[in-house]
């Protein structure tokens, strides 16, 4: 029997799942023909995948989008494969020995660790937002509890502050405003009988950095229609929640505002604490060859997928356009290593990633929305139809079971 090589994927978000399924569907069978045996390890701190795209609506009310619809067991997505080919590990990457080519995993029981040697490694650990309601902060149960807590608080809230002028902040403000205040009529700019004062704070001079100024102004108009006020040029420096549950935020201007609910929706932190400092940039993102998506400083056959890499601009369109590039380069590297010495440079040319830096984004705002594709504006009803209707939760099964990669790897 040939030596078993470990193909380790750290992180089971959309990027990590896409690569793991692509290996099992496409790359592994070809390597087997060459007499090479691989075992895929999928490692994640959560036992369940989280569709964070739907969090702006789910955190408002379970009646609008129950949180349990955003989660799916990761292990169930791999049941179609021979169980001898893969292992799903519920745990968190704790350390990475680049020279020794091993990663150490702290298992979910909190007591044990497991060290995995790797032949090839994919870093897909993603990032986290300040609130566990909008990104995973460990196991999915933490996020489910945070969403339930906000559901309870927002049900009776008369004042809400949201910080962050990006898509998450704008979408959340739109959902909160629409839920609490309803929507203005055709000829009105604001709801006639608002229940709550909802304020969205951004340190920028416009909303939605990816979109043009006119579209950003349209976003503000749509927010006003659900009773949301936008404050520009200030940020939240700190927040304190008192015994009654009210939160006081201190702004960069020195002002202090108090609200029944405060939702931080700005800033991200890469989940890269396991990586050595020389592999990361100053912000903690993994240094990545932006064309080949390899982590060149980490030695051969180490790749970076998704938002943990310093090349990533985020967004669905960029995420799924990286998967075919990664799959092609991983396949090329491993087939070359199977035929030659392991560290021999493969012949031919790499597939190169070209980021989509055009004005492309879709942002639902309550019953409306703004967006563009390659600079071409999309009408409000189309934003609602494509995303705002159900925040695309229909894509969850295909993401978890790998059917999505069959579409993007063509």
Share of the chain above pLDDT 70, in %: 95
**At a CB cut-off of 8 Å and minimum separation 6, what does 344 contact?**
336, 337
pLDDT digits (tens, 9 = 90+) for 133-172: 999 999 999 999 999 999 999 999 999 999 999 999 999 9
Average pLDDT, the chain: 94
- Note the pLDDT of residue 179: 98
- Whether 173 and 195 map to the same domain: the answer is yes
Q: Are residues 248 and 325 in the same domain?
A: no
Flag whether pLDDT at 67 surpasses 90.
yes
For position 344, what pLDDT does the model report?
59
Same domain, 256 and 272: no
332 falls within a domain: yes
Report pLDDT for 343: 59
CATH number for position 242: 3.50.50.60
* Domain that includes residue 325, residue range: 4-132+268-358+390-408
pTM: 0.95
Structural domain includes residue 382: no
Answer yes or no: do 275 and 401 share one domain: yes
Q: Are 12 and 88 part of one and the same domain? A: yes
Report the candidate in 152, 110, 145 with the shortest Cα–Cα distance to residue 131: 145
pLDDT digits 0-9 by tens, 172-189: 999 999 999 999 988 899
Look at the chain and report how many structural domains it folds into. Answer: 2
Residue 367, SS3 per DSSP: coil
Angle, helix 316-339 to helix 14-22, in steps of 10 degrees: 30
Residue 371 is assigned to a structural domain of this protein:
no
pLDDT band per the 50, 70, 90 thresholds, residue 410: very low
Q: Give the pLDDT score at 129.
A: 96
**What average pLDDT score do residues 70-93 get?**
98
- Is there a domain that residue 365 lies in? no
Alpha carbon 259 to its chain centroid, in Å, reads 28
- CA 139-326-306 angle, to 5 degrees, is 35
**pLDDT at position 2:** 67
What are 192-249's pLDDT values in tens digits? 999 999 999 999 999 999 999 999 999 999 999 999 999 999 999 999 999 999 999 9
Averaged over 357-377, what is the pLDDT?
95
In tens, the pLDDT along 243-274 reads: 999 999 999 999 999 999 999 999 899 999 99
Residue 386 DSSP code:
I
Integer angstrom CA distances of residue 393 from 44, 48, 71, 128, 136: 21, 15, 10, 20, 17
């Amino acid at each position: 029997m040939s030596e078993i090589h470990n193909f380790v994927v750290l992180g089971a978000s959309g990027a990590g799942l896409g690569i793991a399924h692509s290996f099992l569907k496409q790359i592994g069978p070809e390597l087997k023909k060459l007499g090479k045996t691989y075992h895929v390890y999928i490692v994640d701190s959560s036992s369940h995948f989280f569709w964070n795209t739907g969090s702006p609506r789910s955190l408002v009310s379970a009646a609008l989008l129950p949180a349990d619809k955003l989660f799916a067991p990761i292990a169930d997505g791999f049941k179609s494969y021979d169980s001898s080919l893969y292992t799903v590990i519920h745990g968190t990457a704790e350390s990475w020995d680049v020279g020794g080519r091993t990663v150490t995993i702290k298992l979910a029981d909190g007591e044990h660790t497991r060290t995995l040697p790797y032949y090839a490694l994919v870093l897909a650990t993603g990032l986290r937002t300040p609130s566990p309601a909008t990104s995973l902060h460990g196991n999915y149960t933490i996020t489910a509890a945070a969403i339930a807590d906000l559901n309870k608080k927002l049900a009776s809230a008369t004042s809400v502050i949201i910080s962050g002028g990006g898509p998450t902040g704008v979408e959340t403000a739109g959902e909160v405003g629409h839920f609490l205040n309803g929507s203005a009529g055709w000829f009105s700019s604001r709801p006639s009988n608002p229940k709550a004062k909802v304020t969205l704070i951004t340190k920028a001079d416009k909303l939605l950095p990816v979109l043009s100024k006119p579209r950003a102004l349209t976003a503000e108009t749509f927010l006003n229609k659900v009773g949301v006020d936008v404050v520009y040029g200030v940020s939240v420096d700190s927040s304190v929640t008192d015994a009654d549950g009210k939160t006081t935020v201190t702004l960069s201007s020195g002002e202090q505002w108090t609200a029944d609910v405060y939702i931080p929706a700005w800033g991200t932190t890469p989940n890269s604490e396991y990586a050595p400092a020389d592999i990361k940039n100053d912000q903690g993102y993994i240094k990545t060859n932006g064309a080949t998506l390899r982590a060149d400083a980490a030695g051969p056959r180490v790749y970076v997928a998704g938002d943990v890499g310093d090349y990533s601009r985020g967004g669905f369109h960029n995420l799924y356009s990286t998967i075919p590039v990664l799959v092609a380069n991983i396949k090329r590297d491993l087939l070359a290593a199977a035929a030659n010495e392991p560290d021999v440079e493969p012949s031919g040319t790499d597939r190169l990633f070209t980021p989509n830096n055009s004005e492309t984004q879709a942002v639902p705002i309550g019953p409306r929305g703004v967006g563009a594709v390659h600079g071409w504006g999309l009408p409000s009803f189309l934003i609602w139809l494509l995303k705002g209707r159900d925040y695309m939760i229909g894509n969850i099964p295909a993401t978890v079971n790998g059917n999505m990669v069959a579409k993007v790897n063509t």
